[in-house]
Structures are given as C-alpha cells and as structure tokens.
Amino acid sequence: MIPALIVALYLAVVLYIGIFAFRKGTGSRDDYFVAGRSLGPYVFLLAIFGTNMTAFAILGSSGLAYQRGIGVYGLMASASGLVIPLCLFLIGTRLWALGKRFGHVTQVQFFRDRWECSHIGTVIFALTAAMLVPYIIIGIMGGGHTLEALTTVTGPDGKPVIEEVLRNGVAVRETRHWVSYEVGGAIVALVVMSYVFFGGMRGTAWVNTFQTLLFLGFGAIAFFLISRNLGGFDRIMAELAADPKTAPLLTRQRIPPQEFFSYTLIPLSAIMFPHIAIMCMTAERMASFKKTIILYPICILLIWLPCVVLGVVAAHQFPGLGPGASDDVILRLLTENTDAVLAGVLGAAIMACVMASDSQILALCTMFSQDVFAHYGGARRFGERAQVWTGRLFVILITAVAYVVGLRLEDKAGIFELAIRFAFSGFAALAPVMLAALFWRRSTKWGALAATVWVALAMAGTWWLYDASATIAPRPGQAPVPIFPALGELFLRSPSNILVYGYLPVLPMVLGSAFFMILGSLVTRPPSSKTLEKYFPSKPGAESRPTRPRPVEIAVGAQQSR
C-alpha cells in the first residue's frame, strides 16, 4: 500500500492547488475560462506542454513500443517536436492576437465572427466536442491502469498474487490489486473534476505546471533505476537483438513506410485541439510563445525517448502481452525494479502525466458555455455568473460520461490506438479549416461546413470499418488483410487500425478536408467587406497591434455572430 499512499498524497496536493486557485480567482467569466489572459512565460510553457502530454505520452507510447519497437519514437516524437512548435508559431500566436483584440475565447467564436456564421459554428462545436471525449476517456483509463498496477498485491516470495474470479460466468485467473481499475479510474475522475470545477483555467494551469515538472524528471530517473537493476541496457539490447522474436523491435521493420509517413500529419491536430487553442488565449504577452517554441522539442525528447526505450525493454521482461495489457508495461517495470517508496514517487509522476486530461474537460465546458449557452442568449438572460456555473455543471456531466465509457473500454483497446483512431486523426483533418480562416481571405463558411461534414463522415466510416472488420483483424506482427477482397488493397485491416492503400485514414481525411474547404469556398460568396477588412486590414501590420478588447467591441462582435 506504500505506493498507493504516496500517490494519494500527490492527489491531495493537486486538489489543494485547485482549491487555492479558486480562492485567488475573481469569479468572472474571463478569470474562470482563460485565467484573465494573464499567464506568464514559464507557467504558459509548462501548462501548454503538460496539457498535450496525457496518458498517451507515457503509457501509450511505451505500450506501442512494446508491440512495434523503437521506431515508435520516430512515428510521433520526431514529427511532434517539429510540427507542434511550428503550429504554435504560425497559428497559436495569431489566435492569441485576435483573441486579445476581439475577445475570442474559443475557436468557434473566432470562426463565427470570421465567417459571419451561427449554426455552422454549432456544427463545428458538436464535431470537436465529440472528438475530444475519447481524449478525456484516455485520461480516465490511464488513471485506472496506473493505480491498479502500482497496488499489485505480492506474496512472501515477492511475486504477484494470482486469484480466480468470475467474469461473465467464467472463472479466470487474474492478478490481485489493492485498488482495482474501476476504483482507480473513479479516483482520478473525481480529483480532476474537483479542481477543474473550482479552479477553472487558473487552477488547471497551475496544476499542469506542477505536474509537468514532476513527469519531466520521471523519464531520466526511471531510466537510470531500471537500468541499474536489470544489469545495464547494453546487456538487455544484446539479448533482444539475439532473439529472432524481439530483434525486429530494434529496427523499423514493424512500421511500414506508408504508416510512418501518415504519422507526420498527426501533430497537425495539436493546434486544432480546443484545449490547446484555448490555452493559447491565456498568455499575458506574445513573448510567452518564444520560450515555448524553443523549449517544446526538448521537453518532447525528455518524455518520449525514455518511455519508448522502456517499452522495448519490457518486451524482453514480459513477453506475450496484448494491446490493452501492454499499456501497463512501464508500471510493471517500476514496481518490479524499484522499492515501494520509489515506485510510489515515480507512480505519482506518471499520474501527473495521466491526469493532464483536466485541460480537455475544461475546454469542453468552456466551449459549451461560450459556444452554446452564451451564443444562444443564456448569458444575456441569466448573467455572467450563471454562465460560469453552467460550465461547472458541464464538467461534472462530461467527467461522468468519460468514466462510464472508460470502464467499457478497459480491455478492448490500447491507449495509443484509441487516441490515433478517434482523437488525433479527426482534429488533424480539421487543420485546413483553421489555416483557411487565418490565412485565406477568400475562404467562406460553406467551405468550412463542407470540410467539417467530410471529417464527420470519414470518422464515422472509419469507426464502422473498424467494427465490421474485427473478426478478420490479424494478430500483432502479422500483415494487414483486405477488408473487401473485391476492392483489392483499398481498405486494409491491421491489428489495430484501418488502412487506406497502406496509409492511415488521417492522410485521406486531411487531403479531403483541404479539397472541400477550397471547393466550397470558391463556389460560394465570401464574407462582407467589413469583416474581411477587420481580419485582413488593407494597412499592413494593423492586425499585429492587439489591444485589450473593449466591451463595445465584444458586443459588436457578438451581434455580428448572431
């Protein structure tokens, strides 16, 4: 129980930070949703990095490296270290400037004002909200897996205790834990819900800052301790290379070139994630982006490299685990190769990364309160305080939904595959919509609607194909198989994904989104000259001098949206 008690102490500290932020807040709408646009450079850096590093980064990356090998680092970390800072530089800074000038808090508010649309903005809200829920589910799943693995019951011989339990009327042998997956997920859900409910964006940013400092040090410490206990990574790597079953893990053999190329598009999702876009609005000054853009790739390296290598090491230590079970491998390495106190401390660091789903929950409640409740007259009729409490109640609702769904997915999907299939691909496909809104004067709301409908249909089609082909899915390490033999290799089923001519669905989704954005804009009328002058002023540099929005400007912008 020692690791569990240490993690409980960490959770209590996190909860206190959220309550302290609540006491420091003013209770206003801007204070709750965007921290009064006052985050300094270091808090902004650690918060925006921490909010993008969820269970996907530590548990998901090590779990996939266990299955696919060292090339997983190249799949996501290398591309993310380049593409995400570039997106923050080109898109994040412009979103911040426009938000500061015109009072935008969410992406949909910007789209409505930029394209003079109302209900189309609601369609975009509905799609982004639906795609963000799987990301929140990942956090709940990660918390459940972490607490379950850290509280494994061991016998006098130091080995895990195995017991027989009934599952759907069938007796199965399972490892015994002090804290079950269901209870662990509930604890994480309640703690995250509590400090988001009370602290809002300020509490979330402060908690993310604290958590990021913890898990940035996790990788190096875990790497060193596990290496020392196992006799050195040189020996482990030599044994992996000598075994024909594990030697491919040290190469890119299990990652086809088409899939590798597809993953370079995944980081485009970062700037379309509502929690990242909203976080960009919280910076106090433009200078805050400078340190973030420079240091972000270094932070990526510190997290991903140790986790991927440890995932490969786990393939040597615990062979034969399935996709869902492999998400626990880094936790198993910790509990078996460190003492109880160190396992608890490092487990708390993993929890820090897992619990970054707080930003997604806050983003959803911000979007609902701003893009639905306020836009359709709720704030005008009931006041600003009612808008804040509506957001808080939405926090409770969405956390409960994510927890229930997370329980059903416990053994059915790996965290990495769930994120790529249902969260990252959809948001990456919406990147052309954001780029068009910011940089293409001729873009229209109908082009945005066409692209959004395409992404929604592509997501639904991918989901249907994945479910329909479950019975023919190959095992890990086997080649993809055609879903419809008459269509050749058009649609393939891999062990964990749907492929289109060998590429992940994100490639046709991004290309299709760009095509429909361009086509829909060219055949429809652009916004009024007044709106175009507002966002693309004829005087060079006029848009780069943001000022704090005045109440009159906000009111005029809201009236134009309506």
Q: What is the CATH number for 59?
A: 1.20.1730.10
Phi, psi angle pair for 503, to nearest 5°: -95, 150
* Cross-strand pairs, 166: 171
DSSP letter string over 72-131?
HIIIIIIHHHHHHHHHIIIIIHHHHHHHHHH---SHHHHHHHHHT-SHHHHHHHHHHHHH
How many H-runs (helices) and E-runs (strands) does the chain carry? 28, 5
Question: Are β-strands 170-175 and 491-493 bridged in parallel, bridged antiparallel, or unpaired?
Answer: unpaired
- Give the model's pLDDT for residue 166: 63
HSE-CB at 323 with a 13 A cutoff on CA atoms is: 20
Q: How far apart are the first and last CA of the chain?
A: 56
**Cα–Cα distance between 17 and 205 in angstroms, integer?**
10
* Cβ neighbours around 378 below 10 Å, total: 15
Partner residues linked to 524 by β-bridges: none
Tokens of 113: 């004002």
Report the alpha-carbon distance of residue 272 to residue 425 in Å, rounded.
11
- 392 exposed, middle or buried (CB, 10 Å; 0-12, 13-18, 19+)? middle
Rounded (5°) CA angle 480-471-498: 40
Give pLDDT, residue 307. Answer: 86
Show Cβ contacts of residue 185 under 8 Å, excluding neighbours closer than 6 positions: 140, 141, 143, 144, 403, 406, 407
Report which of 267, 263, 268 is spatially closest to residue 431, judged by C-alpha positions: 268
Residues 128 and 274 sit within 8 Å (Cβ to Cβ): yes
Domain region containing 224: 2-561
Please tell me the pTM assigned to this model.
0.82
Q: How many domains does the chain have?
A: 1
Look at residue 167 in the predicted model and tell me its pLDDT.
Answer: 62
The secondary structure of residue 500, as a DSSP letter, is E
pLDDT at 321: 76
Under 8 Å between Cβ of 311 and 176: no
**Res 61: pLDDT:** 82
Q: What is the mean pLDDT of each run of 10 residues along the chain (562 residues)?
A: 80 84 77 86 87 73 86 86 91 92 91 93 90 78 77 71 66 73 82 84 86 78 81 84 87 85 88 88 89 90 87 85 72 78 74 73 88 86 84 85 75 54 82 95 96 94 87 82 91 87 92 97 94 86 46 43 44
